[in-house]
Chains A and B, each alone.
Chain A
Amino acid sequence: MSTRGVSASSDGYFDAASTEPLHPAAREVLLAAADEGWADPARLYGSARRARMLLDNAREVVAAVVGARPDEVSFTASGTQAIQLGMLGTAAARRREAGDPRVVAVSAVEHSAVLQSAAHLARHEGARTVEVGVDRDGRVDPAAFAAAVADDTVLACLQAANHEVGTVQPVDEVAAHCAGRGVPLLVDAAQAAGRVPLPAGWSVLTASAHKWGGPAGVGVLAVRRNVRWRSPLPGDEREGGRVPGFENVPAALAAAAALRARWEEADAVAARQRELVDHIRARVPELLADVDVVGHPTLRLPHLVTFSCLYVDGEALVTELDRAGFAISSGSSCTSSTLRPSHVLAAMGALTHGNVRVSLTSDATRDDVDRLLVAVADVVTRLRAGLGAL
C-alpha cells in the first residue's frame, strides 16, 4: 500500500479537536511495543507476561494523568465505545435498584455519542432523556443541572469541556450534587484530557487517545471502584470484564506515552495556545463584519475557538479554505446534506450557519494563525460578494 502523494505535513492543519497528529513520543513507543508487546496479555508464559506488564504500565500512566486508580481504568477501542460502555453499563447496574430510576440527565451540548447512547437507552431500556440547556456561552448552570437530577435519575452526563466551542463545564459543582443524590455522573473528557486538569468528582470518565496525540483505536473508560457497573454486552474477561476482545497493547502503550508527554508540556502549550486563541477572538471581528464569536471568553479550553459568519454556507467555507491549504471544521452548513446544523450552536442561541471551528495543534505559531485569518477573511469576503449588499 502506498501513501505517496498524500501530504503528511500538519501545515495548515487547524482541526486538532478532531484529531491530533501522532505525538513523537508515541511514534517511538508504538514501534518498540510492536516488537515487545505482541503476545496475549491473558496468558502465563514469558512473552505474555511482558505484554501484560506493558499494558499495566500504560494503565498506570493513564490513571495518574486522569486522576484514577489503575484498577479503575480500562482501554476501549475508541472514545465513542468508552462512552457507550460507560453509559449503558452504569444504567444496567442500576436497573434493579429500588424505584427503578430511568431518567438520563444530559447537557444539551454533549457529544453526539452521549446523546445517541441516551437515545438508545430510551429506545431499548425504557429510559427518558432530560436535556439541561446552556447559556449564550455554552455553559451549563449548575443549579439547573442539579434540578434535573432527582431520585428517578439513573445517570447524569456532563462533559468536562465542549468539543465545538471550548467552554469548560462546572463539573465539580454538578458532581457534588450528584454524589449527594447517589446518582452516578459520567464525564466525557475527550477534548480536555492531556490539556487541562480534569475535574475529580466523576463516577465514570471517558477519553480518546487520538485527541491527545496517541494512536487511533484507543479509548479510556474509568469507573470509580465504588460505582456499580454491569456489562451491557455478552460476557468477556478482557479488561477486567469491561471491554470485549484482545487488547491492543502496543497502541495502549503509545497512547500512554503520548499522554504523559502531552501532560508534561501541557502548561506551556496551553499558555501559548491561549494567547493565540485570544488573538483569534479579538482579530476576527476586526477583519470581518457580521461575525458571531462564540464560547465562553475565559472559562475555555486552550486550543479551540469557534466563530460563525452571517450569510455564508459552512460547507463552502470548508471547501474554499481547503483549496487555500487550510483544514478547519464546521459544525454547520445547512445547505449541505452531509453536515447538519450543530445542536451545540443551536442550544447556545448562536448562528448555526457559516461556522468555523479553529483548533490548534501544540506547535501552532502566531504566523500560522495569521495566515489562516487572512485566508478566512478572504474566503468569507469572496463568498459574500456574490450576494450583493445585505
Chain B
Amino acid sequence: MSDATPVLDCRGMRCPLPIIELARHIGEAEVGALVTVLADDPAAASDVPAWCRMRGHEYLGADGDAYTVRRRH
C-alpha cells in the first residue's frame, strides 16, 4: 500500500455506515487504484468483502481495522 492510498476513517461508525462511505468515495479513486477503510465495527470484516463481491470490486484483505479495496470499474 502506497502513501497515496486514500483512507476513509469510519472508526466509531456502525455498519452499514462504513459501507455507505466506501460506496460514496470509491469513485474518487482511479480504476485500478486502492482505497482503505478504517472501521472498528466487527461487522465490517464480513461486509467490506461482501460489498466488493456484490459491486464487482476487489477485496485485498484487512490489517487490523484497515480494509483495503481495489476499484475495478
A residues sitting closer than 8 Å to B (CB atoms) are 290, 292, 308, 310-313, 332, 334-335, 341, 345-346, 349-354, 387-388, 390
Contact = CB atoms under 8 A, between A and B. Distances in A.
Given A290-B54, A341-B43, A346-B45, A334 B23 contact: no
Nearest to B16: A353
A310 B51 contact: yes
Contact of B43 (A292, A310, A334): A334
Nearest to A314: B16
Given A290-B54, A353-B43, A335 B23 contact: no
A351 B47 contact: yes
- DSSP majority for the B interface? helix
B8 to A, nearest CB: 14
A345 B41 CA distance: 15
B7 interface: no
Contacts of B4: none
Nearest to B24: A390
Interface in B1-58: 14-17, 19-20, 23-24, 41-43, 45-47, 49-51, 53-55
Contacts of A290: 54-55
Contacts of A311: 16, 19-20, 23
Contacts of B17: 335
Interface residues of B, number: 20
- DSSP majority for the A interface? loop
A142 B51 CA distance: 29
27 contacts: A290-B54, A290-B55, A310-B16, A310-B23, A310-B51, A310-B55, A311-B19, A311-B20, A313-B16, A332-B43, A334-B15, A334-B16, A334-B43, A335-B15, A335-B17, A346-B43, A350-B46, A351-B47, A351-B50, A351-B54, A352-B47, A353-B15, A353-B43, A354-B16, A388-B24, A390-B20, A390-B23
Contacts of A349: 46, 49-50, 53
Contacts of B50: 292, 308, 349-352
B3 to A, nearest CB: 28
Nearest to A309: B16
B51 to A, nearest CB: 7
A81 to B, nearest CB: 30
Nearest to B49: A349
Contacts of A335: 14-17
Contacts of A308: 50
A341 B14 CA distance: 11
A135 to B, nearest CB: 14
A345 to B, nearest CB: 7
A336 to B, nearest CB: 8
Interface in B48-73: 49-51, 53-55
